[in-house]
Structure 1
Amino acid sequence: MSDFDVDLFVIGAGSAGVRASRVAAEHGARVAVAEEYRFGGTCVIRGCVPKKLMVYASGFSEMIEDAAGYGWDLGPARFDWPRFKAAKDREIARLEGIYQGVLSRAEAQVFRERATVVDPHRVRLASGREISAAHILIAVGGAPFVPDIPGAELAVTSNDMFELEALPRRAIVVGGGYVACEFAGILNGLGVEVTQLYRGERILRGFDDDVRLHVEEAMRARGIDIWTGTDLAALARPGNGAIAVTLDRGGEIETDLVLCATGRRPTTAGLGLESLGVGVSKKGHVVVDEWSQTAVPSIYAAGDVTGRAELTPIAIREGQAFAETVFGGLAVKPEHVLIPTAVFTQPEVGTVGLTEAEARARAPVEIYRATFRPMLNILAGRDERMLMKLVVGEGRKVLGCHIVGHGAGEMIQLAAVAIRMGATKEDFDRTIAVHPTAAEELVTMRTPVGAPVASPAMAPERTPAA
């Protein structure tokens, strides 16, 4: 390795790149990192973290409404977007500093510029400087894209949502995935009139069907106007300051902001990978094996750029596994099974394991499902219900857990531990319920969906609130 300038050159200082850099340095590697934007990647700068802060901000409108039912008289409330944005920006800057500190403590050479790959062991910086490396890690992540339609330049993406100077009065959110649904909920909670367009039949494709239906109905009840089977055809400025949106099914509506949350694409264009023999998919993802290695032995890729599971914890695991394998002498494969996921829609989703449809396609299953109005909503007079669902397969093993409601993300993290360990339905049943909580429903569901209750003794021990 001494024949090279560095042992590892990382392109991209997001979750995967920073973790790989730190761990490789801990094993004695000489590391260099190039980042053309900001340290922290999508998650920290324009993804998970600022989005969750916006979810919190928008959620206070519901808390203020519900407070009256609990005896609070708070008076009229007003949301100050510039004040929130300033606070959010300070927090993001603080977190970026932490990521920079990680690289500094790892004694990594840091280049604040774009880097491309010249050959299996050389990268070229935008300044023209070339650096040789024993290994190269591609960790450039991805970026949102806007459909190629007339007037596409009038739309914004999720990146832009964090930099708005003011909130619109009306907004159209295009897409049915978790990003689109999360931003529809955020805008709605902040008082924006929201219309969501989705070309499919139901939002949140890929999630359990009960979850999809439950969330969609709850979003509609909160005032979000969801139009399925509908997509954009064109955007235009009619001259009155608004955006005219032409729909693919005919007709036109006006709005003040159009957010396209219709997917992301890896930012691999122009990196020089294909000319070296590195496999790149039609969508632009870097093709890697189970060790995150490309067809060129010295070049690896980790994180969203591989398209395996585009989640921050997965990117961190992939970066760690790469560094442990290549520099730590340990054969570590990143696992992509039983990944717990939270979707910060309003209401929130937590899910891990198989959906009912996936499980039924493999073998017979039993379904345990409960919908109930949680205690929090009773005095508030809110009719919104929670959903708890367990998918149980052969040997009574719990194959999937799906939750919709307050705290779903927190609950699913702990449920995932049990399911990862192979818990059975009886393990859930033997667990003492924590009362009064919503989570206790996970361990008190006794009768599978569609099965008759044989006697009062066989009935659920706790009936959910009506």
Structure 2
Amino acid sequence: MKNIVIGSGPAGRLGSLQLGRLREDVTLIEKNHIAGTCLNEGCMVVCALTDITKFIDSNKRFNEHGFIKSQLEVSYEKIVEKIVETQEKLRHLNQLENESVGNNVIYGEASIEGDTVKVNNESFEYDNLLVATGARPFIPDIKGNEFGLTNKDILKLDDVPEKLNIIGGGIIAGEIANIYSTLGSKVNILARSSFLKEITANTKKYVLEHIMKDITLYENTNVVEAFEDKVLLDNGEELDGVPFFATGRTPNSEIVEGIVELNNDKTIKVDEMMKTSKENVYAAGDVTGGYQLTPVARKEGITAARNMAGYSNKVSYNCIPQTLSLNMEVSFVENEKSQCPEEDKETIAIPAIAGPSAFWNILSGDTGYSEIEFDKKNNKINRINSISPSSVSDVAYLSYLMRMDYDLDDYDEFIEIHPSTDTNYKIIKNMWL
């Protein structure tokens, strides 16, 4: 069976790798750089920069405590240089990984004509096709939008902007605001409705008061015009600063328009096996909408690949853990399938406790925050919001237990590694069970 995968982001790369491991014939086509948005423009760039801001934040705290005396000089140009150097190494490794299972990797812009894919003036027939072309930043239709930066421009900046107006109120807006405010920018966040609707009100309050206290937040605010160095709000106010759009994503689905069925938002319509409306065409990752997260894209790509190879597989989206990468991570998960009525809900919240990377936060009171909502009647967890240096791993493991529908009594057998910021387990074991 001839399999073609278009797009080498997390969905396409892992899908093609799975097909290769199943000894299928695979051609992987990538328009630009292997590994897609995640490595080249998205989460790995954000994580690399956040590593720097965490160091700056720690250095500031240690100086305030008085046991370290140092003054940092940060070179944004050098940071970008080293990020690009690391990206090149990882691209090479990702290509070798795919080629190691016998896959053919081709670079060029693909087009689809029937059961044939064309790239670089060559035609390739396929028995199965996986479209994993990802998404790009959505640019709102406002006057002067050509002046706005997006995540695609982070590595093109010569230096840290003196003032920055971040337009958007979601995860990306929060992460970008944290990075540049820590690096020295005066940052405004301009949210059309509420900021960080993905987390609870008390979690958001902690973030704004303890982690992102240097930013200025405007909620229920619309930008009507952008300029090179300022924005105009709908109330007539002008705010100085470079505009930065963090206003969502647009699917790169143009390649299959008229070939498969699309949703109203132009994402590719797929079923739980990642099949499109055309029998031998599959799609996975950001181009299908839904959770636009690297781990979800990987799971979708692998699911599609297994079905393409004849191994029936379905994807489930319940209890998906997420994180907001700041100087202290904010991680959260919710059981969307919970039918718990309000009268059966109980929420317990306490400050986080000291563990790796948290001990020296105690003196300033910036120890984090954890909040867990329980279903009292069914003895289950409905939702977790956790702010701590270890929340990423904590919430990932707990989301698995939620997804497997474990009873709270079963959590008593869970043993965490110490030291860790194990507030979640403290709530579950000592305050609830």
Q: Output the TM-score relative to the length of structure 1.
A: 0.85
CA distance in 2, matches of 1:191, 1:405: 24
The corresponding residue for 2:264 is 282
- Relative to structure 1, the CA distance from residue 310 to residue 342 in structure 2 (aligned partners, 3 Å threshold; closer, same or farther) is same
- 1:145 and 2:145 correspond: no
SS for the counterpart of 1:314 is helix
The structural deviation recorded for 1:429 is 5.4
The structural deviation recorded for 1:386 is 1.7
Taking the TM superposition and a 5 Å limit, the aligned residue runs for 1:436-451 are 437-440=420-423, 442-444=425-427, 446=430
The structural deviation recorded for 1:69 is 5.0
- 1:418 and 2:411 correspond: no
Taking the TM superposition and a 5 Å limit, the aligned residue runs for 1:378-457 are 381-393=363-375, 394-428=377-411, 437-440=420-423, 442-444=425-427, 446=430
SS for the counterpart of 1:392 is strand
- 1:129 and 2:115 correspond: no
- 1:303 and 2:253 correspond: no
Q: Show CA shifts across 1:225-253 (max 9, x none).
A: 1111112111225xxxxx13111222112
Which segments of 5 or more consecutive residues in structure 1 lack a partner in the other structure?
A: 2-6, 238-242, 449-459, 461-466
- Relative to structure 1, the CA distance from residue 370 to residue 245 in structure 2 (aligned partners, 3 Å threshold; closer, same or farther) is same
The corresponding residue for 2:210 is 218
- Relative to structure 1, the CA distance from residue 432 to residue 104 in structure 2 (aligned partners, 3 Å threshold; closer, same or farther) is closer
- Relative to structure 1, the CA distance from residue 244 to residue 309 in structure 2 (aligned partners, 3 Å threshold; closer, same or farther) is closer
How many residues are paired up?
A: 429
Taking the TM superposition and a 5 Å limit, the aligned residue runs for 1:55-454 are 55-68=50-63, 70-119=65-114, 121-125=115-119, 127-200=120-193, 202-220=194-212, 222-237=213-228, 243-255=229-241, 257-269=242-254, 271=255, 273-276=256-259, 278-327=260-309, 329-354=310-335, 364-371=344-351, 374=354, 376=358, 381-393=363-375, 394-428=377-411, 437-440=420-423, 442-444=425-427, 446=430
- Matched to 1:138, the amino acid is V
- Relative to structure 1, the CA distance from residue 137 to residue 431 in structure 2 (aligned partners, 3 Å threshold; closer, same or farther) is closer
Q: Show CA shifts across 1:358-377 (max 9, x none).
A: 76557722212113575746
The structural deviation recorded for 1:260 is 0.5
> What is the identity percentage for the equivalent residue pairs of Structure 1 and Structure 2?
23
- Relative to structure 1, the CA distance from residue 188 to residue 373 in structure 2 (aligned partners, 3 Å threshold; closer, same or farther) is farther
The structural deviation recorded for 1:14 is 1.1
- Relative to structure 1, the CA distance from residue 362 to residue 31 in structure 2 (aligned partners, 3 Å threshold; closer, same or farther) is farther
Which segments of 5 or more consecutive residues in structure 2 lack a partner in the other structure?
A: none
CA distance in 2, matches of 1:289, 1:41: 23
Does the 8 A contact of 1:123 with 1:131 survive in 2?
yes
CA distance in 1, matches of 2:421, 2:29: 46
Does the 8 A contact of 1:176 with 1:203 survive in 2?
yes
- Matched to 2:216, the amino acid is D
Q: Show CA shifts across 1:252-283 (max 9, x none).
A: 1211x2211010111112x1x2322x111222
- Relative to structure 1, the CA distance from residue 152 to residue 349 in structure 2 (aligned partners, 3 Å threshold; closer, same or farther) is same
- Matched to 1:209, the amino acid is A
- Matched to 1:189, the amino acid is T
The structural deviation recorded for 1:399 is 2.5
- Relative to structure 1, the CA distance from residue 318 to residue 431 in structure 2 (aligned partners, 3 Å threshold; closer, same or farther) is closer
Does the 8 A contact of 1:342 with 1:350 survive in 2?
yes
SS for the counterpart of 1:76 is coil
CA distance in 1, matches of 2:13, 2:289: 18
- Matched to 1:225, the amino acid is T
The structural deviation recorded for 1:100 is 0.9
CA distance in 1, matches of 2:203, 2:426: 19
The structural deviation recorded for 1:434 is 6.4
SS for the counterpart of 1:245 is strand
The structural deviation recorded for 1:192 is 1.3
Does the 8 A contact of 1:198 with 1:229 survive in 2?
yes
The structural deviation recorded for 1:306 is 0.7
